Amino acid sequence: MNQYETVFILTPVLSDDQMKETVAKFRKLLTDNGAEILNEEAWGLKKMAYAIEKKSTGFYCLVEFKGEPSIVNTLETGYRRDEKVIRYMTVRLDKYAVEYAEKRRNKLGKKEEA
């Protein structure tokens, strides 16, 4: 199983509940297809570098997961079918990126405890 990281941007016109429902939908899509979710972060509403579909902001979400390579196609098909997603990117993490992601998760975990 490979380790992946996906970041997707949701349209800014969503309510907070709609954003959480959409993230939960993609989390369920991953787990239903045999992926193990390692980390999930909602970065919130951020300004984008350039306008996409005449929108200058968007809700950014990051999900780290382990799974088979075929799951990426399923996930990205789900992104393309959902009109709430305006951009997405999924990458496979190499061993150095995996180490960095673990350090980052540990650092974020310690901040949340404090």
Say whether pLDDT at 112 is over 80.
Answer: no
Q: How many domains does the chain have?
A: 1
Range(s) of the domain holding residue 96: 2-113
Whole-number pLDDT of residue 114: 59
Question: What percent of the chain has a predicted confidence (pLDDT) above 70?
Answer: 97
88 with 79: CB under 8 angstroms?
A: yes
Bridge partner residues of 30 (DSSP)? none
Q: pLDDT band at 75, cuts 50/70/90?
A: very high
CATH number for the domain harbouring residue 72: 3.30.70.60
pLDDT digits (tens, 9 = 90+) for 27-37: 999 999 999 99
Q: What is the distance between the alpha carbons of residues 49 and 78, in angstroms, rounded to a whole number?
A: 25
4 with 67: CB under 8 angstroms?
A: yes
